Structure 1
Amino acid sequence: MAFPYATLCVQGIKDGVTSEALQAQFEHYGRVRNVNITQNKNMKGAPDTRIAIVEFARRDDARKAMQAMLR
């Protein structure tokens, strides 16, 4: 059974960006279940190299967000 929600990995998150700010930005595409910002372990110490994991309630909403980021 497939999960109904989907997760996007967004790279290059600038220092100082909060999970609340990302959630507000991504909610334009649908309901966001969770946003987690973490350091990119492969680029430790470099500025603006954090990763955000954005979990949407619906896969279609995650697809819409991904397509918008590719434009």
Structure 2
Amino acid sequence: MWRSNIRAWFKDSETIAWARLQMLGGAVLAVIAAMDPSLFNQYIPERWLPLYVIGAGVVTEVARRVRAKDM
């Protein structure tokens, strides 16, 4: 699934790939919020924020443990 040029950009790390995906999503949401703050609540309801935080933590931990052989 990982092609060599994509793997090189992410330094062959799922954790770095996940972090960059989160940064891209955050940048997109920041632009939406800057353009019209009411749009932000349409796309991301406040009730989903705790679920996102927990889900992001789980995905980050799984991505980290994929490479950690001592865990």
Interval of TM-score (by shorter of Structure 1 and Structure 2) = under 0.3
Higher RCO (Cα < 8 Å, 6 or more apart):
1
Q: Given the two structures, how large is their TM-score scaled by the length of structure 2? A: 0.27
Higher strand share: 1
Higher helix share: 2
Q: Given the two structures, how large is their TM-score scaled by the length of structure 1? A: 0.27
